[in-house]
Structures are given as structure tokens and as C-alpha cells.
Amino acid sequence: MNIVKNGMLILNQLSKSAPQVFSSIKVGDLVEGTVFSKGSRMLLVDLGRHGTGAVYRGELQNARELVKSVGLGGKIHAKVLEVDNEDGYVELSLAEAGKQKAWGEVDELKGKDEAFTVRVTGFNKGGLIANVKGLAAFLPVSQLAGEHYPKATTAERTEVTSALQRMVGMDITVKIIDANVRTGKLIISEKEATEVSSRELAKNYTVGQVIEGIISGVADFGAFVKFTDNPAVEGLIHVSELDYRIVENPKDVVKVDEVVKAKIIEIKDGKISLSLKALKEDPWTVVMNHYKEGQEVTGKVYMFNPFGAIVSLDNTYQGYVHVTEFGGAEEMRKVLAVGKEHKFTIDSVKPQERRIILKAKK
């Protein structure tokens, strides 16, 4: 073994005295070599015209699984830490080489813009964690596909956490949307991987078409609907399209698992927008048949806003009473209470503006 070692040292010396005969390497390069000596303190690698590489004990511990799997004569990839150390070797790192190789494969995947499958290994409040080529990858909640997106309101964060937790151990299809070796940031997206499929599926539908679906989730901004003729297709009813009246909480109008009919009002980039109110008769066209100026009515306070209160009338119309009727917001809240019925007088009815102006009953 000493003869081999001395020969390799001579080869290293020759590479310094006649560098034109040998190819140059530099710190950070990824090299391949053949293991010819393996001990508990050091592993020696024949790097050919680059000379002899050495992996020292600390690096052997960092890559112990790889070291166990390779025998004499086996090929390994390593990263150059030092071109000519005090022992005359090219000092190598196996663990760093593995990371560098993995980042190279990740860059290739991102460049091809290809979808691939990963297994979810964990989660946090912001999204999911997975493994890509041995590197930790993060999938933000916003990058989940529609079918996996936690359909919860802002106040229901525990539902979001539960939805993410249920996905641990699940295989999902993703694309890489950001990979930065310098910062170690690797971001993946399920939504990007399914967009092409969504665009193709959306081509089977047209604006104006009425579909049947099942409410699959309710969020602050609206309700998700899975199409009964193809559950892989999901549309969104925005909160403004749930009803002709102002809706603060979509759960006041629809419930999960409820079967509904909705009208397609827009198809854009594979996303289908739906409307419930488009299939309802516009009540404002006949509002004058029900309400007149000066009429006394009983209404339930639906919500407050900075300018006054919205009042439900017969569960069909909404009236508006301005805060100045009470002298201020604090005084208004002393008189009115959300969810409670109060008596009002109709000041004006404006069908074109879809407004009924109320005055507090003195």
C-alpha cells in the first residue's frame, strides 16, 4: 500500500511541475474517482490525472451511509475542498458532493418544467414539506391544487392545520417554481403541476352553461363546487355571486356537501367562475311591489360597517341605516344589535341603486 501511496504522491508532484500534462481542477468542482484505500480515518480515491483524493474522518462521518455502500474499486463523486493540502492530496467532501449533485438535478428538473411525484413528509402553518432529490422542499398553502386547498375561513385556522396534517404521507404531483442553491430555498407547487390539466378539462364547458355540483368547501371569499359530471373539475362561486344581498359569511347561504345548480360566468386560464344568483330572479325588479317610502318595517340587523348598519328585510332585501341616525357609531351600537330585530321607517327605495334607505324608528 505504501508503494501505491508513494506513487500517487509522485504523480501529484508531477502534476505541479508539468501542469500542462494534467487537467486542472479547482475548489468547488465535482469530481469522480475510484476508491483504492478505505480505512476508519481516511479514504483514498484515484482521481486519474487529477492525482489522489482524500476523504478525511470528519467527512466520512457526514457521509457514513455512502461510505458503507462503496467498496474498493467502487466509483464515487466528491466535491473538491482543497486542491493541494498539507498531505499533498486533493481534499474531498462526499456529503457536499451529494448536495451539489442534487441541486444540479433539481435545476435540470426546473429547466424542463416537468411535473413529478413527491411524498409529503411534514407540514407547518404555512404549508407542506417534502423531499426532492434528497433536498428539503417547501410547498406553500397557496400552491396547493384546488382539491387539496384548505377551504376554511380566517377564523378557522385549526381547519387549515388539520387539512395539511392529513396530507402527510400522501403522494402528490408537483413542479419546481423556485430553486436557489445559494440560499438553499427550494419551492414546489402542486397548483402549477395541475394547471395544464385544468385548462384541458375547462375546455369541456362554456360560459352561460348551467352545471350541477356539490359544495366542497367554504371560505371567506366564496364557495368551491365540484362538478357532479366530473369531480376532477372544481369551480368557485365568489361571495358576491352567492346572492343579490350582501353576504358577510358564505356559510349563511351554502353548506359543505350541499348539491347546487350554478351558472358558469367566466372561464379563464382553466379557472371556472360560477354564480348562484344568476339563476335567481332579481328581486330588485319588483322591490316597489313590496316596499314604499314611509312604510314601517321590522328588520334583523345583519352587520355593522363604518357608515352604519345593514338590515335584512324578509330574508330577501337589505336596507341600510346610516350611523348619523344615531349620532355616532358608539350610540348606534347601544340601540342596535347584530342578529336582533328592530323597527324602522323606509326613507327611500332606489331599485336602480339596489338600495333601501332606512331611518331608525323613534
Angle, vertex CA 338, rays to CA 335 and CA 343, nearest 5 = 55
Please indicate, yes or no, whether residues 152 and 179 belong to a single structural domain of this protein: yes
Task: Give residue 44's pLDDT band: very low, low, confident or very high (50, 70, 90).
Answer: very high
More confident residue, 309 or 66: 309
Read off the pLDDT of residues 314-324 as tens digits, 9 standing for 90 and up: 878 989 999 99
| pLDDT for the residue numbered 119 | 92
**Position 266 in a domain:** yes
Task: Give residues with Cβ within 8 angstroms of 62, minimum separation 6.
Answer: 93, 94, 95
Longest dimension (CA), the chain: 111
Please indicate, yes or no, whether residues 356 and 291 belong to a single structural domain of this protein: yes
Please indicate, yes or no, whether residues 354 and 306 belong to a single structural domain of this protein: yes
Average pLDDT over residues 46-71: 83
Is it the case that residue 58 has pLDDT exceeding 60? Answer: yes
**Position 253 in a domain:** yes
**Position 104 in a domain:** no
**CA distance linking residue 168 with residue 131, whole number of Å:** 12
Average pLDDT over residues 185-211: 86
Quote the cell numbers at residue 289. 311591489
**Position 259 in a domain:** yes
Quote the cell numbers at residue 38. 478505505
Domain termination site, one of 176, 195, 214? 195
Task: Give residue 7's pLDDT band: very low, low, confident or very high (50, 70, 90).
Answer: low
**Position 102 in a domain:** no
174, 118 Cβ separation under 8 angstroms: yes
Which sign, positive or negative, has the C-alpha torsion 236, 242, 246, 247? negative
Please indicate, yes or no, whether residues 190 and 235 belong to a single structural domain of this protein: no
Which sign, positive or negative, has the C-alpha torsion 71, 72, 73, 77? positive
Is it the case that residue 65 has pLDDT exceeding 80? Answer: no
Please indicate, yes or no, whether residues 43 and 60 belong to a single structural domain of this protein: yes
**CA distance linking residue 167 with residue 120, whole number of Å:** 7
Read off the pLDDT of residues 85-129 as tens digits, 9 standing for 90 and up: 888 899 988 776 667 677 777 888 888 887 888 999 999 888 899
Please indicate, yes or no, whether residues 190 and 212 belong to a single structural domain of this protein: no
What's the Cα-to-Cα distance from 229 to each of 116, 232, 261, rounded to whole Å? 27, 9, 12
**Position 44 in a domain:** yes
Average pLDDT over residues 230-238: 89
Pairing of strands 30-38, 75-82: antiparallel
Please indicate, yes or no, whether residues 218 and 187 belong to a single structural domain of this protein: no
Please indicate, yes or no, whether residues 44 and 65 belong to a single structural domain of this protein: yes
Number of structural domains found in the chain: 4
Quote the cell numbers at residue 11. 504523480
Mean pLDDT over each residue of the chain, to the nearest integer: 84
Domain termination site, one of 195, 221, 239? 195
Please indicate, yes or no, whether residues 189 and 234 belong to a single structural domain of this protein: no
Task: Give residue 219's pLDDT band: very low, low, confident or very high (50, 70, 90).
Answer: confident
Read off the pLDDT of residues 298-319 as tens digits, 9 standing for 90 and up: 999 999 988 999 999 987 898 9
**Position 107 in a domain:** no
Residue 151, classed as helix, strand or coil, is coil
275, 237 Cβ separation under 8 angstroms: yes
Percentage of the chain modeled with pLDDT above 70 = 88
Least confident range from 3-12, 211-220, 292-301, 309-318: namely 3-12
**Position 85 in a domain:** yes
**CA distance linking residue 118 with residue 69, whole number of Å:** 25
Please indicate, yes or no, whether residues 233 and 269 belong to a single structural domain of this protein: yes
Domain termination site, one of 279, 300, 326? 279
- Classify residue 77 by burial, with Cβ atoms within 10 Å: 0-12, 13-18, 19+: middle
Task: Give residue 345's pLDDT band: very low, low, confident or very high (50, 70, 90).
Answer: very high
Please indicate, yes or no, whether residues 228 and 272 belong to a single structural domain of this protein: yes
Q: In one letter, which amino acid is 298?
A: T
**CA distance linking residue 35 with residue 157, whole number of Å:** 54
Full residue range of the structural domain in which residue 131 is found: 113-195
Residue 344, classed as helix, strand or coil, is strand
Please indicate, yes or no, whether residues 272 and 291 belong to a single structural domain of this protein: no
Residue 207 belongs to domain with CATH number: 2.40.50.140
Query: pTM for the whole thing?
Result: 0.51
